[in-house]
Amino acid sequence: MKPSRFRITDHAVIRYLERVEGMDLDAVRAKISAAVALAEDHPAACGVVSDGFTYKLKGDAVTTVMPLNSPDLRTGKQRRERPE
């Protein structure tokens, strides 16, 4: 397939998933909200680990979700697992 000359924005992807694929984004938001509920009692929290994923928080917003063992974006190094 030939690459498009058009850049596809995140907004377009979200609307496609919602309107074309019929994805229920409110249900997705509810799942994310449930995953970060632990942070409710910790107002200074900057992240939550749940079910193998890290949910990054900034203020009252969840800004990104990434696999727990993904490389550090600044250094490219693999993060170490914490002992249980």
Residue type, 43: P
Say if residues 56 and 62 touch (Cβ distance below 8 Å): yes
Q: What is the mean pLDDT of the chain?
A: 90
What pLDDT was estimated at residue 71?
A: 74
pLDDT tier, 1 (very low <50, low <70, confident <90, very high otherwise): confident
**Which pTM does this prediction carry?**
0.74
Say if residues 45 and 56 touch (Cβ distance below 8 Å): no
Calpha distance 10→18 (Å, rounded): 12
Closest CA to 67 of 45, 51, 44, 46: 51
Tokens of 6: 């058009």
Residues 6+ away with beta carbon under 8 Å from 64: 55, 56
Say if residues 65 and 56 touch (Cβ distance below 8 Å): yes
Is the model more confident about 70 or about 47? 47
